[in-house]
Amino acid sequence: MSEHTETTGHAVHIVPVRTYLLVFFALMAGTALTTAVAYIDLGPWNTVVALAIAVTKMTLVILFFMHVKYATGFTRIVILSGFFWLAIMVALTLSDELTRVWEINPSGWNVLLPLASRLF
C-alpha cells in the first residue's frame, strides 16, 4: 500500500506538554479559588467574583485546549461572532428584565374575588 499524506499548506503548531500542564494547574487553582470564595460572604460581590473566575477559566480553555490561540483568522472571526451573539442575547434579556414594573406587594388572586362574587 502506498502512504497517503495530505498537504494543506498550513503550518502545524505543536503545543508543548508543559503548556498543557500549566493551564491544567491554573484551572485547578481556579476551581479551588471558586470553592474558597463560595464560603466567604462578600455580599453582592459573590456573583461578580465567581463570574470573573469562571470567565478566566473559560478563556484558558478556549485559548489553549481549543487551540484558538494558534488558529487562523477565520476561526477567530467565528469565535468572536459567537460572543457577539451572546452579547445580543444578554442585552435583550436584560432590556426585558430591567424595564418591567414590579409590585412590592403583589395582590394575587384576591383581586378576582369581587368579580367572582358578582358572577355566582
The one-digit pLDDT tens for each residue of the chain (120 residues) are 445 445 555 667 788 899 999 999 999 999 999 999 999 999 989 999 999 999 999 999 998 988 888 888 888 899 899 999 999 999 999 998 888 877 676 666 666 677 666 666
pLDDT of residue 106: 66
For residue 70, give the nearest of 81, 58, 62 by alpha carbon. 62
The residue among 64, 75, 87 whose CA lies nearest residue 14 is 64
The answer to whether the pTM exceeds 0.75 is no
From start to end of the chain, where are the E strands? none
